[in-house]
Amino acid sequence: MTSGPGTSAHQGSPTSQSHRAVPWSSAITATTDERVFVRGVALDEAMGRETFSAMLLRLWRGDAATEEEADLLGACLVASVDHGPVSPSALVARTIAATRAAPMSGLAGGILAFGELHGAVVSRAMRILAGAPAEAGLQAWADEVFEAERAAGRRLPGVGHRWHHHDLRAERLLEMAAPLSAGRLDSAVRALAARVSRHTGKPVPVNIDGGLAVALTALRLDAAYGDFLFAISRSFGLAAHYVEEQARERPMRTIDPTLAQYDGIAIPGSGGD
Amino acid sequence: MTSGPGTSAHQGSPTSQSHRAVPWSSAITATTDERVFVRGVALDEAMGRETFSAMLLRLWRGDAATEEEADLLGACLVASVDHGPVSPSALVARTIAATRAAPMSGLAGGILAFGELHGAVVSRAMRILAGAPAEAGLQAWADEVFEAERAAGRRLPGVGHRWHHHDLRAERLLEMAAPLSAGRLDSAVRALAARVSRHTGKPVPVNIDGGLAVALTALRLDAAYGDFLFAISRSFGLAAHYVEEQARERPMRTIDPTLAQYDGIAIPGSGGD
Amino acid sequence: MTSGPGTSAHQGSPTSQSHRAVPWSSAITATTDERVFVRGVALDEAMGRETFSAMLLRLWRGDAATEEEADLLGACLVASVDHGPVSPSALVARTIAATRAAPMSGLAGGILAFGELHGAVVSRAMRILAGAPAEAGLQAWADEVFEAERAAGRRLPGVGHRWHHHDLRAERLLEMAAPLSAGRLDSAVRALAARVSRHTGKPVPVNIDGGLAVALTALRLDAAYGDFLFAISRSFGLAAHYVEEQARERPMRTIDPTLAQYDGIAIPGSGGD
Amino acid sequence: MTSGPGTSAHQGSPTSQSHRAVPWSSAITATTDERVFVRGVALDEAMGRETFSAMLLRLWRGDAATEEEADLLGACLVASVDHGPVSPSALVARTIAATRAAPMSGLAGGILAFGELHGAVVSRAMRILAGAPAEAGLQAWADEVFEAERAAGRRLPGVGHRWHHHDLRAERLLEMAAPLSAGRLDSAVRALAARVSRHTGKPVPVNIDGGLAVALTALRLDAAYGDFLFAISRSFGLAAHYVEEQARERPMRTIDPTLAQYDGIAIPGSGGD
């Protein structure tokens, strides 16, 4: 049987229902001729009256945020917003900026550098924390988790860092999250840190992924949002690196990450001085 | 002359200096063992004390924001955060979510849908507005700009919309921005809208791109940040669509955008009630 | 201690060696002022004398291909090159084309639709096949693999298909690969198909992923190249969809995948006539 | 008027037709239960009988290729396939590989490095060449094109190169393309090179973009395919760099492009020996 114009792109007997038209629904946003409503709230009414953090929590969780919750989510965004010019994602964004490829290419490219070792860790940490028991069983749980991750060839997320021996951002998140979760999550992540410390023989800090995991879990956000929160906040930093690269450097320059200098506003001496 | 291990990947006489090591600088972020400083401010100190919008303005502009400025930037973020499930970028994010490809793939893919007709327009509008003269010459300037864009085969950015005849988000941004720019930018974008109205014979609203362009210019942000602000804020919405798609729908389902329904929190009647 | 220009972006005591300059090597390509050499072969000398498939095998495997091997790799490329306009990756490329975002955005976006259920399956199938024993132990091995995948919540790759009950591309690959692997891999993938058939109660074909996995393993390619072969070959198809979308359709059109028609060169009747 | 479940995501009066269901067509690929047909040719029948280059030309152009044409397209693919480990796109792919982000992330990220200065140039060169007149008017035309590009702040595509003073790949493409275009396109690109030489005072070679532009135009391919051909062929090289990075180097290593060495198969001495 020959076929020609007017024929479905798949011929014969399609066995999957997937090509029939099926109504589907979304509960996030509705639009009218004049307005956009996110979770039932008109954006124009929220603008200037609700902080962006409060709106974001509403968007992702579906219900209104208390002021304390909005502040905690805002703190998560602040904590993640940048980490300097030689972070892999920033280097990718700069490399793409250097070829004068489009801004969206630089942004998307930088985001694609996030993987299980860099930037796509918070969700996994949240899923682990979700299984934490009450105080009593924490040490056994931490042992189990440590062994399971080790058997799977993975680093335990949420603890340790290549550079920061003591991450004040993580500590601040744990401090701000404590009232919202009765300290339960804080104890859980510290139990994991203690277990890793036993293994390495050195003190091991709760890192930014652990701090974010505790905070976002205390905010009752779906674990999937952990990596999104980090990546999208960091995107604001990637944008700054893209813009600075094009403003300061000539096109197609070779970027040597070992020769990056800081020439911005003076910062105080490192902690412990 | 044979070559082998220990040899530079490019042989012969490299004529470009690009492969010599050259120190370079960035003024955005410095890190120590304990802290991350963005534009000289320790993130851990800002967390819970500065809103994310204030920190973002500092990151992108380099100096501190007034409370009014931070509120305006926050309003820009709120205005852009989502526009429903059948926006091209949301459809891309959902299509990728349906194949169960990774979250970062969904995010980056959705961002790549932003182009000159959808989501990558604000920067261009900012650059056009940057050339606006004082009130007196506005109509002539609007005529010039209109003709130039038409000659280049481009739509004038900042005015008109496929759906929204009157965009309350745009009006709200113009209202909030007015004190920061003495209304000059507001007059400019309205002059452009008036010029297009003369052409189409119908009233033409200032749209969200125009509102964002006025607000971000009033905030003294580099025009490059226009598209980044929109895209990164919208990314929070894309994340919500990715998560909802995976939570509600089976893998590899066919997404028919003409059958999308809203089943979220009830919204008030459409405009004109 | 204050800091300022001329200071490393990371201050304090970096504990990681990662920021020291370390020489590194690559064995793939060297360039001179006049030429590019891939695995020691000058591209200008290969052009018009070696097929692209032969050069690709050299690039990915490191050594020269026989004519039979080059033909088999070429067959893998042909088999993967496209699968119609409503494949998720093609829909993403078209959606991005519709917004008039750049060609590279359409290409990268389409690639990002490849995930564990669509297009990023061949590598996993190759890794499974790599563990297949000699003929004698195949049934037991197939049972083990089936149970392991089921326990992990995954579909067994290489067998079955949503539409194609009998995939002639897969059969052709098995036929062409047989001389190169003494039929051992062919038996292995058929043992997996038989095990799944026992489970479903219906005949289950070896699918294109299984055919590619057998062929690429017979070609002694690293399993990592399985997904790359599929994705990059399919990219040529994505490009065709991007170009056709922009040539035929107006910008920002809504793409309804349930209404896609075929209006190309007439094809013979479906199998079984 | 309140709204709730069962309601369209856009309420009020949609002014665009874009959300109505409209049948659409594609002429590229049709599928049946057993087969995939590209431009009317069953892939399983082409496998092992047609080279991939011949199938690609059919896919992109719509009609069958002569053997000479298929060889020329194959030569274009070979010419573009890689350019070493410190090409910006390869560096991006390696940076993403180093974070152990997924293969598709590395591939898409590398592709996003292609912009108007690197890898996304061929289409523009093809569009310029399409306007070339017969031999007589070539010098005037070259002058016009040069001035137009200069006025637009752009480099003339197709001529010159940062490293290669004389690109044998480009020469080979011109040689292979000549019979297919009666040398007309060859003369055109050489006229452009001559015009640039007058400006710089030095001999300027036709570069790989110019060679590809001539070849792909001689093959009667749409100019849009120029950048796609280059990018997708180069993707095979990006895959090799991704795989090698993960095979040889530890995760999260710092990549210093100034310290890249070649340790592959020995190559002959540089040109002029």
Question: Cβ(C203)–Cβ(C197) under 8 Å?
Answer: yes
Q: What are the CA-CA distances from residue A213 to residues A120, A136, A210 (Å)?
A: 12, 21, 5
Least reliable range by pLDDT among B229-233, C62-66, D85-89, D184-188: D184-188
Name the pairing type of β-strands B36-38 and B29-31.
Answer: antiparallel
Query: Residue D154 has which token pair?
Result: 């752009």
Q: Chain B partners of C88 at a C-beta cutoff of 8 Å?
A: 95-96, 98-99, 252
Q: Measured between CB atoms, does D257 come within 8 Å of chain A? A: yes
Strand order from edge to edge, sheet including B24-26: B24-26, A260-262, C7-8
pLDDT in tens, D219-266: 999 999 999 999 999 999 999 999 999 999 999 999 999 999 999 999
Q: CA C86 to CA A250: how far, in whole Å?
A: 42
Q: Find the closest chain A residue to D21 by CA distance.
A: A21
D18 vs C47, C235, C254: nearest CB: C254
pLDDT digits (tens, 9 = 90+) for B57-98: 999 999 999 999 999 999 999 999 999 999 999 999 999 999
Residue D10: pLDDT above 80? no
CB D149 within 8 A of CB D186: no
Burial (Cβ within 10 Å: 0-12, 13-18, ≥19) of residue C140: exposed
- Give the nearest chain B residue to D3 (CA atoms): B266
Task: Place D11 in a pLDDT band, splitting at 50, 70 and 90.
Answer: low
What part of B 144-183 touches A (C-beta under 8 Å)? 163-169, 171-173, 176
Which candidate from D111, D167, D227 shows the least CB-CB separation from C108? D111
Q: Write out chain A residues lying below 8 Å of C108, CB-based.
A: 105, 108
Q: Which contacts (CB < 8 Å, 24+ apart) does range C184-189 have?
A: C184/C132, C184/C134, C184/C135, C185/C129, C185/C132, C185/C213, C185/C214, C185/C217, C185/C218, C186/C214, C187/C135, C187/C138, C188/C129, C188/C132, C188/C138, C188/C141, C188/C142, C188/C214, C189/C125, C189/C129, C189/C158, C189/C159, C189/C213, C189/C214
CA dist B106 and A28 (Å) reads: 17
Amino acid at A82: D
Option in A3, A261, A273 nearest C266 (CB): A3
Nearest to B84 among D3, D10, D163 (CB): D10
What rounded mean pLDDT belongs to chain D? 90
pLDDT surpassing 70 at residue B146: yes
Token reading at D220: 């009667």
DSSP symbol at C26: E
Interface touch B104/A84, C-beta < 8 Å: no
CB contact under 8 A, D104 and B104: no
CB contact under 8 A, B109 and C92: yes
C207: Cα within 13 Å, side-chain hemisphere: 20
pLDDT digits (tens, 9 = 90+) for B170-201: 999 999 999 998 678 999 999 999 999 999 89
Work out whether strand B260-262 and strand C7-8 pair parallel, antiparallel, or are unpaired: unpaired
CA dihedral D32, D34, D39, D41 (to 10 degrees): -140
Q: Which of A87, A258, A259 to mutate to test the interface with C (most CBs of C within 10 A)?
A: A258
What band does C160 get if pLDDT is binned at 50, 70 and 90? Answer: confident
pLDDT band at C18 (very low <50, low <70, confident <90, very high): very low
Contact list in C for residue D117 (CB cut-off 8 A) is: none
Please write the tens of the pLDDT for every residue from A37-75. Answer: 999 999 999 999 999 999 999 999 999 999 999 999 999
Residue C70 to chain A, least CA–CA distance (Å): 31
Closest Cα in chain B to A79: B43
Q: Rounded to an integer, what distance in angstroms lies between the CA atom of residue D10 and that of residue B185?
A: 31
Contact A96 D112 (CB under 8 A): yes
Task: Please list every residue in chain D whose beta carbon sits closer than 8 Å to the beta carbon of residue C253.
Answer: 18, 22, 24
DSSP letter for D18, please. G
Of D113, D162, D258, nearest to A101 by CB-CB distance is D113
Per-residue pLDDT tens digits for D95-141: 999 999 999 999 999 999 998 888 889 999 999 999 999 878 999 99
DSSP letter at D8 equals E
Q: Which chain D residue's Cα is nearest to B271?
A: D12
CB-CB contact of D145 with D181 (8 Å): no
Tell me the three state secondary structure of residue A131. Answer: coil
Put simply, whether C2 touches B (Cβ < 8 Å) is no
Q: What are phi and psi of D30, to 5 degrees?
A: -125, 150
Chain C: closest CA distance from residue A262 (Å): 5
- To the nearest whole Å, the CA of B117 is away from the closest chain A CA by 13
Best mutation target, C2, C3, C8, to test chain A (most A CBs within 10 A) = C3
- Counting as low any pLDDT under 50, the low residues of chain A are 1-6, 12-18, 270-273
Q: What is the pLDDT of residue D136?
A: 86
* Residues B83 and A84: beta-carbon distance below 8 Å: no
